[in-house]
Homo-oligomer: A and B are copies of this chain.
Amino acid sequence: MPNYITIDEFKKGEITIGEIKSAEMIEGSDKLLKLSVDLGEERPRTVVSGIRKYFEDPSALVGVKCAFATNLEPRPLMGIPSEAMILAVSNDETFSLLRVSDATTPGMRVK
């Protein structure tokens, strides 16, 4: 039996397009990256994510437009408040972000 939810419940989760402006390693962590993400707001948000192992060179993430969960309460990771969650799929063999066309604008909301 699937755990059905209503469309209104689904839409309580805000999914927003962001453009990654910078991506850097965090001293003392071999798992986390610290991203600065333009989500179409006044200032970019800081996003701390456990995607270090998928990006030998974090600068490959700069300019990428992809989907973020944007209404989770900020939580600190390695002492850095993470203000959104990057959405991804992964298994032992592969990893992928949820990417959108370059023609999209940061702040666009998934519907």
Contact A98 B99 (CB under 8 A): yes
Interface size on A, residues (CB 8 A): 40
Q: List the number of copies, as a whole number.
A: 2
A7-B99 in contact given A91-B108, A104-B89 (Cβ < 8 Å): no
Q: How far is the CB of A47 from chain B (nearest CB, A)?
A: 14
Q: A73: CB under 8 A from chain B?
A: yes
Contact A17 B89 (CB under 8 A): yes
A residues sitting closer than 8 Å to B (CB atoms) are 2-7, 9-10, 12-15, 17, 67, 69, 71-73, 85, 87-91, 93-101, 103-105, 108-111
Could you show 22 A-B contacts with beta carbons less than 8 Å apart?
A3-B14, A3-B71, A4-B71, A4-B73, A5-B72, A6-B73, A7-B85, A9-B13, A10-B69, A15-B87, A89-B104, A89-B109, A90-B108, A90-B111, A91-B108, A93-B103, A94-B103, A95-B101, A96-B100, A98-B98, A98-B99, A99-B100
